[in-house]
Structure 1
Amino acid sequence: MFSDRTLKCRDCGAEFVFSAREQEFFAEKGFQNDPSRCPACRAARKQRNTGNDGYRTTQRQMFEAVCDECGCITQVPFQPSGTKPVYCRECFQKARNRQYR
């Protein structure tokens, strides 16, 4: 049913073979689109976006806030709106433990 096809990489413009076996794998996973990057560009893109452990390496933007519980200055990964309380790490953990008792 599947046969090898030659595709063109959208990043480097090189031609690469989309093998019948890869097409079968894509079909099993339910992927609708053919790959648009050659294996080398896919690997390079993955390396840029993730570290060696597979997790994102980009840093989140942090915002300074005052903890509503203890009053210390802390950093949080969201822009506080002022409508909900903001806690430092320690106070957040305490509040979380109180909630699930």
Structure 2
Amino acid sequence: MFQDRNIGCVECSQEFVFSADDQQYHSERGYSDPKRCPSCRAARRSQSGGGGGGYGGGGGGGGFRSDRPMFTTTCAQCGQEAQVPFEPRGDRPVYCNSCFSQQRQSSSY
């Protein structure tokens, strides 16, 4: 049985309550105890551009950041120039946006 605990934040040294419900949630998922208070966690998450794992982060991520480097390549299907957010290695075909969408639609049926 879990009980509410006070924990000191490593960022601001403020004490915060780690509730019994939160402890159970963390325990069920194998997470370690939090080291930062909720406001420092939120500030850290917003500085790192998302967070929480998954696709697009905790509701605030998603999309491409403007500081992400883009690479120019040639689409393997139509031959047009394409900008991609990764450096093509040459071992797989790389498609422009429209050809990539067509590839995804045709492979999902």
Q: TM-score, normalised by structure 1?
A: 0.69
Q: State the SS of the aligned residue for 1:41.
A: helix
Aligned-residue offset at 1:2: 2.6
Match of 1:35 in 2: 34
Query: Gaps spanning 5+ residues in structure 2: where?
Result: 51-55
Q: State the SS of the aligned residue for 2:83.
A: strand
- 1:14 has 2:22 as partner: no
Aligned-residue offset at 1:40: 1.1
Amino acid in the other structure paired with 1:73: E
Q: State the SS of the aligned residue for 1:47.
A: helix
- 1:87 has 2:86 as partner: no
Q: Distance in 1 between matches of 2:90 and 2:31?
A: 43
Q: Distance in 1 between matches of 2:59 and 2:11?
A: 22
Q: Distance in 2 between matches of 1:18 and 1:63?
A: 45
Q: TM-score, normalised by structure 2?
A: 0.65
Distance of aligned partners of 1:12 and 1:74 in 2 relative to their CA distance in 1, 3 Å threshold: same
Match of 1:56 in 2: 61
Query: Gaps spanning 5+ residues in structure 1: where?
Result: none
Q: State the SS of the aligned residue for 2:73.
A: strand
Percent of matched pairs sharing the same residue: 44
Q: Which has the higher contact order (CA 8 A, sep 6+)?
A: 1
Specify the structure having the higher radius of gyration (Cα). Answer: 1
Match of 2:82 in 1: 74
Q: How many residues are matched?
A: 99
Deviation beyond 6 Å, 4+ runs, structure 1: none
Amino acid in the other structure paired with 2:82: T
Match of 2:3 in 1: 3
Distance of aligned partners of 1:95 and 1:12 in 2 relative to their CA distance in 1, 3 Å threshold: same
